[in-house]
Structure 1
Amino acid sequence: MTKRIGAPVVPLLGDDVESIKYALSSHLLYTVGKEPVNATARDWFMAAAHTVRDRVTEHWMPTLNRYYQDDRKRVYYLSMEFLIGRTLVNSLINLGIYDNVRTAITELGQDFDEVAAWEVEAALGNGGLGRLAACLLDSMATIGVAGFGYGIRYDYGMFTQHVEHGWQVESPENWLRYGNPWEFPRPGVIYPVRFGGKVIHYRDALGHARSQWVDAEEVMAMAFDVPVPGYGGKVVNNLRLWSAKSTREFDLKYFNAGNYIEAVRDKNESETLSKVLYPSDMTDRGKELRFKQEYFFVAASIQDILGRFRKSHSDWSLLPDKVAIQLNDTHPALVVAELMRVLVDEHQIEWSKAGDITRRCCAYTNHTLLPEALETWPVDLFQRVLPRHLEIVYQMNHEFLQGVRYRHPGDSELLRRVSLIAEEGGQRVRMAHLAVIGSHKVNGVAAIHTGLMKSTIFSDFEHLSPGKITNKTNGVTPRRWLLAANPRLSRLITEKIGDSWITDLDQLRKLEKLADNKAFRKAFAEVKRANKDSLAAMMSMRLGVDVDVESLFDVQVKRIHEYKRQLLNVLHVVTRYNRIRTNPLLNPVPRTVIIGGKAAPGYHIAKLIIKLINDIAEVVNNDPQVGRTLKVVFVPNYNVSTAELVMPAADLSEQISTAGTEASGTGNMKMSMNGALTIGTWDGANVEICEEVGEENMFLFGLTAQEVARRRMDGHDAQAAVAANPELAHALDLIGSGFFSPDQPDRHRQLVDILTSGGDHYLLTADYPLYMAAQDRVDQTYRDPEDWTRKAILNVARMGKFSSDRTVAEYAREIWNAI
């Protein structure tokens, strides 16, 4: 059998077990260079990866060719992070060959699970931002959007997190140590990226004012392509990652003089641009490196995007009809200035026309409401690194403010607020403002988040351009987060309703009628128990902590940050511990509290919270009076692979951020989709999950975003709140007095001070009584296993809205115009 890929005719690769066994053996010999007798499980993984990659590739090339032949509008998703996780199992599932490959590996005498476990997770992201990007790429390929991801091929991820004596310790995340079998290096796709230099202004032969950026230093961006198969395997899109390469390998005169370090200095400095995800910005050098990183991947991506467009089109006015550029947060916001520069300076397009083209191509996704998290860059740094882009920013700002001034004469405060240049504390370029005025659409990622965007951080822009800000609630791919991560539950669902839910998650609604079926509840509970067994085994093996799988698995896994309120979780744990110790007749519901997440290396308070969690675990887990009724487990180096174990095993999903601070959350979706009940605030996507699932099937509590704003405005009296609640006061006293840190009694005093004399900005003391009441409702519900399981089934059944397929379809129809 043959098929056509472009012009040549090539034989189809077989997907039957025998063909796959032959391919595995061939790759083991010819790609890995090993024979079965001395091959390790890692060697077999490499053989399996290349076997699967071959089959992905045979659909990849025709997909890209069809896009050219059909002259499809292409969507370019630019993100500093793509947290794609392990690729082998996900690709097998999307290609529909999981069972055959598993059988083939088994028949060759290998343990499939051991082989798959040798895959090193791609360290291309850190948290929800990067995981969302990966989900959207999966959905673009699945629903047939011509989508391309652009990012940076980091040599090292953010860091690998270890815990030593309870403290977070960071080490380099060298994920490329053994190579990456999924990528295709493209040495022929390489672009110059410039920094520094100066700008020359002149008039051309026709008298038009022109600008030329000259005398800049160059670094080269080389492409590495990673194919992204959609479910069914027929559409395979592309993730293109840029790696920094020096324009010259070394200086021969230094080398000949024996100064080897100096000889390669320029090469090493150039290539630091793609060394590590999020270099620390605690120093001026770190700030400059991060700024250069952002421009590096933007400049390379724009050259690639425009080069592809020019292969088929010569009319620049068609660019918005053929190109959509989605800015995932402000990291790629320099796209606006760079696209303007290329159009105006390199292609002599008139300024206003270039502005119109740029705005119609670009759209911006906002991920934060925290003003301190909105990126700004010092003007002097901008001037030194990107002098021409600063001129463009100034000109865009001047014209924008002229328009505002015309519509709102005399309103100098409005001009100050919407200016691209912040003047307070030194001039800084506001990257979110640049993204807003340089885009035709701006979106939030949950209904409440978008509403707050309109009423708070971007209220002026909403007033100036009504309708520009829109909502696109996040979603997660059910292929990764249910089908692959939870095969036990996936099989049970498919047995009952068929497999159409895999690409149409609304089909899960058919499970509703089974929530009252006793036999189905029993099967569902057995699946959850088996998943808890798997997670418990991992925690026992990796962490040496044995837990009761009959206990309620209470899970909070996300970045460690004050606004995400891991400290509120800790206060509940300490209060629960106090209740058990002081009341031997209490008969509490057994709990295993599982917390995971990384703290930014320079974020002292977050790292101290991790230490407190581990200090409490050390005391609680070794207290014979508590026994198995309460365990606390901190899971280090939380990543996608760990999440795939945690999400299916969770009974309770902790989503307890201060209302108005969490843009959306996707962990809340993943855990609900896997049958966990949510305890959460009225924040982010919790609100929409509640609308779908029903408040009676969740445990919502706490101040609303509006109440939080009023409480802060009126002045929250944290000390009075503590004094009014003896359990809270006792918990804080134990933490602050050194009960959990006898070797250093004042170790956690700072955390207590933040919640009391520090004003408690994130209002933990205000929400504590309501949180404790919600936790009491959790206990009461968990005591009735039939009722708990019924609610868990309804959570799964009503999660159809939160598929990233729906999210992408909305983007494609309403922002990208790409369906």
Structure 2
Amino acid sequence: MNRSASNKTVPPMPEAFASDMAARRFHKRIPELTHYQKYEILSEYMQMKMGEAWQQSEHAVVRHYFLSFEYAFGKPMRFAEQALFLTEELEQLAQIMGTDYRTLLREEELPHLGFGTPGRFGAGWMQASTEAPCGCMGYGLRYRSGFIAQYIIKNRPINATDYIGDPARHPWEIRTEKRYEVRFNGETLLAEAIDFPIPGMGGNPIHYVRLWDVAETSRIDTAEFRAGEYVKAYHQTIEPRRLVEFVYPEETNDPGKKLRLMQEYFFASATMQDILSVHVKEKEALPDPIDIYLNEIHPTLAIPECLRLLTEQYGHAFSDSVKWVQESFRYGNQILTDEAFESWAVPLLEETVPVIVPVLRKMDEYAKNHSPVFAVQAENARGLFRDDRVVFPNICAYFCRAIHAFSQTHKKQLSKRLGLDTEKGRSFIRLLAPRLSYVKTLQRTSPKMYECLLEDNCTAQKLAQAKMEKKQAFAKGLEDQSIFINPYSIFSVHIGNFHENNRQLLILLYIANLHRKLLDSPHLDIPDTTFLFSGLAYPGYLMATETVHLINAYGKWLSRDTLIENKLRIVFMEDINTEMERTLLSVADIYQAIRLPAHATLPMYVPEAILQGAAVFSSRHGYTESLAQSLADTKAITLFEEGKGQGEAMESLQFIIQNKKNLDFDAATIASLLRRYQDSFSVMSSFQSYAKEMTKCTQAYLNADAWNHNRAMSQRKMWQILKNTGDLPCDGR
């Protein structure tokens, strides 16, 4: 690829670069620059260095592609700074401009390309791909408004649009000349490629995530403008952008469903046109299969679109095209909730993307006659069509060479959902142990810990000291928000969007149980504990918003309750983003991975939490149970049992309800929802085991020498596991 960044003239010294950029770009002297303009100069310098590295790096032929609707990258400056070994140069450049480098980093905006588990996995996979001896490229959408921003007002979560801004101004994005037409029923949109660089260590290699934006194809209607109809005048220029305004448009109404389907086809068509333009030539035999990984179900339309392009545009036989597709695609499932098993009504497909429906019908017919999956799939699950809907997971089952799960338990649960619950059927699902970028993240977020683990004589004391320094800095930072916590207390961290299957309510019941006991016996020997929560409550999800409200209300009550002498604290981190999550992991003493086992497929942050020196407290499911066995001698993971009894759960809930005045919160709605759905997420029924094992875990913290020894052992062992094992993109074939 030709990169404009690689053609820049390199000034002899950073000071020359700074003054030159200030004059050329902003027509200012350095002292007149704003903080953001100084940040832009830093990022421009970084792009220049990345261009130099790109010129000198090896350029492997890209044969591995990663398709995802989400990428949770965090702030790119920090990642690139460490990958290119530029920390000292950037600090020097910032100093020349009269500012501290860390101050300028605060000006950096997060690229809001996703926040959920698929986004975290996508970012980790692409960053880890730079360690692979092969070319790899990601594809996504360039959203304009990102995810929902969350604010806490009077303890309640309030949601607003998190606006990103004009992609042309974002310093990390390289606008290319790649454009492709995507045709809908009565409308043609132009997909424009914007590349987001992912540098490897030393800049060799540099991989890219290609993000699709909607290019402007229409101009303002001057007649309408002159007539004073300003909204109508701009309609044709603004309307197409709706496809990339938000990730996952609302599906509770018909226009939202149509927009979501258009978004998925826009992504699929642009991506497959781009990939096939590299590998497939007209009037030539099909090349060897490539590797196309579908990250979750949303990119599934890439499969029928690939078949359509191979047959209609490149003129290949349908049977040959199917074989090529079946050898090229694979699908990875991470979430077992209903939204991960997407299906679309045929009438909506015919109305929105009629060009793809004949292909889907032909695929269905072919599968019935040729696919071995039908021989092993349960009778009631066969076919691409069911109840006049196209079942997307079945497309993946019949036309991918592999379906990936992340543990034996996950594989078993996924087999049932796909109707492959037979011995032969389960063989279609393969385990994937991705080698994500945990070690690189440790280097970025906890450099002292990283440097210690590189040494042969890294001691438990050194690691514990590095951890305490992180906790002290974190507590000091909270003081700016008038939040005061004890850095020597246990930091118990829960990260994840608010949903019943993430079971934040289970932690609250445990806190309430401790609180009521402390009120009865103020001198009870309970370790000082600070409970840290981070996560988004989506609007319209009542249990989620009520739980966030209760967490914040309870935190306020504890902060003014002098009877318990600071033994319990709750802090809700209002600012939700990948950087905040990584910060919380770096200070966690206990990381709570308590998602309901039926939904816990790939606990993304469990290995990272252990590497950062935390003990993991988890429900018993495939991934953490297997990891717990590998780390058994280090006591890295404490597991609790599901459904072993309520214990004091009801007393804790009643305590919350009875203290309506102290909390300024009525928990009756939460209690009502628990009753209505019969505790379907095992919050009440698992409390006894949860409380028993959590008490053991927190008591172990009081023996500092043993705790630090076990944490150091688990860190070293996790370090070796993460550095030496795991699948990279090249391992996919």
Q: What is residue 274 of structure 1 aligned with on the other side?
A: 244
**Partners of 1:805 and 1:304 in 2: CA distance:** 34
Report the Cα offset of residue 760 of structure 1.
Answer: 0.8
1:169-208 matched pairs, under 5 angstroms: 169-176=158-165, 179-186=169-176, 188-196=177-185
- Is the alpha carbon distance of 1:730 and 1:460 closer, same or farther for their aligned partners in structure 2, counting shifts above 3 Å? same
Q: What is residue 46 of structure 1 aligned with on the other side?
A: 40
Q: What is residue 557 of structure 1 aligned with on the other side?
A: 495
Is the 8 Å Cα contact of residues 412 and 421 (structure 2) preserved in structure 1?
A: no
Q: What is residue 257 of structure 1 aligned with on the other side?
A: 227
Cα-to-partner distance string for 1:157-191 (whole Å, 9 max, x where unaligned): 111111111111112212236931011112x2111
Question: Secondary structure of 1:764's match?
Answer: coil
Number of residues paired by the alignment? 732
**Partners of 2:501 and 2:190 in 1: CA distance:** 39
Report the Cα offset of residue 62 of structure 1.
Answer: 5.6
Q: What is residue 507 of structure 1 aligned with on the other side?
A: none
Q: What is residue 652 of structure 2 aligned with on the other side?
A: 731
Q: What is residue 56 of structure 1 aligned with on the other side?
A: 50
**Partners of 2:374 and 2:92 in 1: CA distance:** 69
**Partners of 2:633 and 2:504 in 1: CA distance:** 23
1:189-588 matched pairs, under 5 angstroms: 189-196=178-185, 216-310=186-280, 315-320=284-289, 323-403=290-370, 414-423=378-387, 427-454=388-415, 456-460=416-420, 467-494=427-454, 496-497=455-456, 520-542=459-481, 544-588=482-526
Q: What is residue 504 of structure 1 aligned with on the other side?
A: none
- Is the alpha carbon distance of 1:739 and 1:474 closer, same or farther for their aligned partners in structure 2, counting shifts above 3 Å? farther
Between 1:734-743 and 1:254-263, the stretch displaced more is 734-743
- Is the alpha carbon distance of 1:474 and 1:600 closer, same or farther for their aligned partners in structure 2, counting shifts above 3 Å? farther
- Is the alpha carbon distance of 1:193 and 1:474 closer, same or farther for their aligned partners in structure 2, counting shifts above 3 Å? same
Question: Secondary structure of 2:507's match?
Answer: helix
For the pair 1:605 / 2:574, whether they are aligned, the reply is no
Match of 1:148 among 134, 137, 147: 137
Report the Cα offset of residue 63 of structure 1.
Answer: 4.9
**Partners of 1:260 and 1:751 in 2: CA distance:** 48
**Partners of 1:681 and 1:357 in 2: CA distance:** 41
Is the 8 Å Cα contact of residues 367 and 444 (structure 1) preserved in structure 2?
A: yes
User: What amino acid sits opposite 2:526 in the alignment?
Assistant: P
Question: Secondary structure of 1:368's match?
Answer: coil
Match of 1:83 among 63, 72, 78: 72
- Kindly, what percent of the aligned residue pairs are identical? 21
Question: Secondary structure of 1:442's match?
Answer: strand
For the pair 1:630 / 2:568, whether they are aligned, the reply is yes
Report the Cα offset of residue 363 of structure 1.
Answer: 0.8
Report the Cα offset of residue 9 of structure 1.
Answer: 11
Is the 8 Å Cα contact of residues 14 and 92 (structure 2) preserved in structure 1?
A: no
- Is the alpha carbon distance of 1:420 and 1:736 closer, same or farther for their aligned partners in structure 2, counting shifts above 3 Å? farther
- Is the alpha carbon distance of 1:743 and 1:619 closer, same or farther for their aligned partners in structure 2, counting shifts above 3 Å? closer
Report the Cα offset of residue 146 of structure 1.
Answer: 0.5
Is the 8 Å Cα contact of residues 416 and 422 (structure 1) preserved in structure 2?
A: no
For the pair 1:781 / 2:672, whether they are aligned, the reply is no
**Partners of 2:339 and 2:204 in 1: CA distance:** 44
Is the 8 Å Cα contact of residues 474 and 802 (structure 1) preserved in structure 2?
A: no
**Partners of 1:627 and 1:368 in 2: CA distance:** 41
Is the 8 Å Cα contact of residues 155 and 552 (structure 2) preserved in structure 1?
A: yes
Report the Cα offset of residue 354 of structure 1.
Answer: 1.1
Is the 8 Å Cα contact of residues 53 and 202 (structure 2) preserved in structure 1?
A: no
Between 1:614-623 and 1:252-261, the stretch displaced more is 252-261
**Partners of 1:314 and 1:77 in 2: CA distance:** 27
User: What amino acid sits opposite 1:244 in the alignment?
Assistant: V
**Partners of 2:139 and 2:724 in 1: CA distance:** 20
User: What amino acid sits opposite 1:422 in the alignment?
Assistant: R
**Partners of 1:318 and 1:125 in 2: CA distance:** 33
Is the 8 Å Cα contact of residues 619 and 740 (structure 1) preserved in structure 2?
A: no
User: What amino acid sits opposite 1:150 in the alignment?
Assistant: Y
Match of 2:677 among 751, 754, 758: 758
- Is the alpha carbon distance of 1:11 and 1:29 closer, same or farther for their aligned partners in structure 2, counting shifts above 3 Å? closer
Report the Cα offset of residue 74 of structure 1.
Answer: 1.6
Is the 8 Å Cα contact of residues 182 and 227 (structure 1) preserved in structure 2?
A: yes
For the pair 1:114 / 2:103, whether they are aligned, the reply is yes
Is the 8 Å Cα contact of residues 342 and 393 (structure 2) preserved in structure 1?
A: yes
Question: Secondary structure of 2:25's match?
Answer: helix
Q: What is residue 685 of structure 1 aligned with on the other side?
A: 623
Is the 8 Å Cα contact of residues 199 and 205 (structure 2) preserved in structure 1?
A: yes
* Runs (5+) with no aligned partner, structure 2: none
Cα-to-partner distance string for 1:671-714 (whole Å, 9 max, x where unaligned): 1110000111122531233133226513533346xxx7xx9xxx
Is the 8 Å Cα contact of residues 218 and 247 (structure 1) preserved in structure 2?
A: no
1:642-653 matched pairs, under 5 angstroms: 642-653=580-591
Question: Secondary structure of 2:65's match?
Answer: strand
Cα-to-partner distance string for 1:273-305 (whole Å, 9 max, x where unaligned): 111122222221112111111111111111111
* Runs (5+) with no aligned partner, structure 1: 197-215, 498-510, 515-519, 712-720
Is the 8 Å Cα contact of residues 140 and 211 (structure 2) preserved in structure 1?
A: yes
**Partners of 1:338 and 1:61 in 2: CA distance:** 34
RMSD: 2.8
**Partners of 1:287 and 1:617 in 2: CA distance:** 39
**Partners of 2:303 and 2:283 in 1: CA distance:** 21
Q: What is residue 202 of structure 1 aligned with on the other side?
A: none
**Partners of 1:189 and 1:650 in 2: CA distance:** 44
**Partners of 1:261 and 1:627 in 2: CA distance:** 60
Q: What is residue 730 of structure 2 aligned with on the other side?
A: 812
Report the Cα offset of residue 328 of structure 1.
Answer: 0.5
1:708-727 matched pairs, under 5 angstroms: 721-722=645-646, 725=647, 727=648
Report the Cα offset of residue 667 of structure 1.
Answer: 1.6
Is the 8 Å Cα contact of residues 565 and 656 (structure 1) preserved in structure 2?
A: yes
**Partners of 2:218 and 2:75 in 1: CA distance:** 34
Question: Secondary structure of 1:766's match?
Answer: coil
**Partners of 1:643 and 1:173 in 2: CA distance:** 18
1:608-619 matched pairs, under 5 angstroms: 608-619=546-557
Is the 8 Å Cα contact of residues 46 and 181 (structure 1) preserved in structure 2?
A: yes
**Partners of 1:770 and 1:9 in 2: CA distance:** 58
Is the 8 Å Cα contact of residues 161 and 169 (structure 1) preserved in structure 2?
A: yes
User: What amino acid sits opposite 1:91 in the alignment?
Assistant: A
**Partners of 1:391 and 1:177 in 2: CA distance:** 38
**Partners of 2:427 and 2:91 in 1: CA distance:** 50
Between 1:433-442 and 1:686-695, the stretch displaced more is 686-695
